Amino acid sequence: MRFRDRAHAGGLLGSRLLEYQRRDDVVVLALPRGGVPVAAEVAKLLEVPLDVFPVRKVGVPGQEELALGAVASGGVRVLNDAVAGAARLDAGDIEALAAREERELARQEESFRGGRPAVSPHGLVAILVDDGLATGASMRAAIAAVRAHGPAKVVVAVPVGASPTLAALTREVDDVVVLEAPRRFLAVGYWYEDFSPTTDDEVRRLLAG
């Protein structure tokens, strides 16, 4: 199925997570920007706290959609050595690319929360939400960063994802919840009728409740 928009996908996704409804040991963490409208609907349905968990994809120069890796809160970096080798990037190139994304990550954290402290997932069930998974680089960075906070459980929840990526993630987290796992994935945006970019203002509005 195709989703009308991210909010529609989030409502459907939340209905698959009702075992976590109204629990005081659960937090929904959204990967910005596109994951925030999805996660907002999930958190609303489950009646649990929502926070943003910034992650930035590190793209190959000239082929930015090709993920070299990703960076996440807490200085976490997840890099794909095979992609780096194929792109003929050395350690200096990778450092420069990652550092640029880390600067944007810091800007997002300050901008999105408006001075509010981050919600710590320590001891909680952390439900990581994005609008979809292609290579999974950003989600892997988020998983590594969340793990560093000592959560009780990590759950990945997405409306749609590439089957190989989802299969790999099942070995990294406690549970993966997905609505659509097509064999022929194409791209995340294909599965949405409206895949308009999510703005910083929209992220701030949704986080403010």
- Secondary structure of residue 183 in the 3-state scheme: coil
pLDDT of residue 65: 65
pLDDT of residue 9: 98
pLDDT of residue 57: 82
pLDDT by residue, tens only, the chain of 209 residues: 899 999 999 999 999 999 999 999 999 999 999 999 999 999 999 999 999 998 888 888 887 767 788 888 778 888 878 887 787 888 898 899 999 999 988 888 888 987 788 888 999 999 999 999 998 888 988 898 898 889 999 999 999 999 999 999 999 999 999 999 998 998 999 999 999 999 999 999 999 87
pLDDT of residue 51: 95
Cα separation, 67 vs 88, in Å, equals 14
DSSP conformation letters of 71-89:
EETTTEEEE-HHHHHHTT-
Listed by start position, the domains of the chain span 6-54+112-208, 57-111
Kindly tell me the burial class for residue 156, based on how many C-beta atoms sit within 10 Å of its own C-beta (0-12, 13-18, 19 or more). Answer: buried
pLDDT of residue 111: 87
Read off the tokens for 124.
């909680």
pTM: 0.86
- Domain boundaries 6-54+112-208, corresponding CATH code: 3.40.50.2020
